Amino acid sequence: MSPSTTSLIGDYFPKKDIPLALSVFQIGPIAGSGIAFIIGGAVLSIVESADPLVLPIVGALAPWQQTFVYVGAPGVLLAALFLIIREPVRRPSPPPEPGGGSELLAFYRRHTRTIVLHHLGFVSLVLMGYAFVFWSVTFLVRIHGVPAAEASQTFGWIFLIFGPLGPILVAAIARYLTDRGRLDANITAGMIGGIMTIPAVLALQFASDATWAFILFAPALLAVNSPFGIASGALPVITPPNLRARVAAVYMLTGATGMMFGPPLAGAFNEYLFTGPEGVRYSMIVMTCLFGVIGVAFLWAARKPYAESLAAQDPS
């Protein structure tokens, strides 16, 4: 979720509506991922027997590499739609302090516990979630013998239908808790999303056949996507308007570590600890139990400092 998006939505909506608005925005990347799996599966079935694609400078692309080109190309065209977005009326901010980043550093010093626990909690869940999504098609292929193209397309449809429900559910929980005066509502709702994810992903690993696996992917994908809208939405409401983009950028940078290290870490478990076709199942069990529990524990600890940070902010 880009820093500019956080800044724009922070000015488009009242502060109490920002977590829900960013959770709704999160539907876009989730739906896009589902569509990518659907189209990717279809393209893979087409290019598997195709000749190598030769591009200038790049050279010849194997069938699996061609899939990325065909799936990614429409995004270049859709990027032009950003030109029609209306600039919001910017909310007033306190005058910036001299010294470039000194104001940002001062903000982090005031809210160190909140920011550190927030980042560690949600990044742990990101690491678990990206590992799960990345290896799901492989799980279907290795454990249940589903052809790769079919696995990708069916998984994509489940992702597209159920994945977007997770952030909306958690945002609704946050709004319910907020309306009842809970200052820790955003963190608590994200923690609930993490708690839902652990049993949902674990149950899937013990599916007896492909049919049950596809059925159990529905609650698992709903749950695994559920914390990430509120993860971004929790930050702007405790951040001055002029710092929102930079704070979002720092969180995006830390979240990228989960995206980068989750899938290869699960792959390392497959390679060195749980060898053989069944290894992907046990890798997911370890990743879920380890990083899911760590993420939930950090968010549990973040509730009180987050409430204190929120209480210290201007409610407007």
Which letter does DSSP use for residue 109 in this model? H
The pLDDT, as a whole number, for residue 82 is 63
Give the whole-angstrom CA distance, residue 275 versus residue 100. Answer: 51
Is residue 314 classed as helix, strand or coil in its secondary structure? Answer: coil
- Cβ pair 288, 262 in contact under 8 A: no
CATH architecture of the region 3-88+101-310: Up-down Bundle (1.20)
**pTM for this one?**
0.80
Q: At what angle do helices 210-225 and 165-179 cross, to 10 degrees?
A: 40
pLDDT tens-place string over residues 70-124: 666 666 776 666 666 666 555 555 555 544 568 888 888 999 999 999 999 999 9
Which stretches of the chain drop beneath a pLDDT of 50?
98-99
Q: Structural domain boundaries of the chain?
A: 3-88+101-310
The set of residues, in sequence order, having a beta carbon less than 8 Å from that of 194 and lying 6+ positions away, is 121, 125, 227, 292, 295, 296, 299
- Cβ pair 191, 299 in contact under 8 A: yes
The pLDDT, as a whole number, for residue 153 is 86
The pLDDT, as a whole number, for residue 99 is 45
The pLDDT, as a whole number, for residue 120 is 94
User: How many C-beta atoms lie closer than 10 Å to residue 245's C-beta?
Assistant: 18
One DSSP character per residue, 90-159 reads: PPP-PPPPSSTTHHHHHHHHHTHHHHHHHHHHHHHHHHHHHHHHHHHHHHHHHHH---HHHHHHHHHHHH
Give the whole-angstrom CA distance, residue 290 versus residue 305. Answer: 24
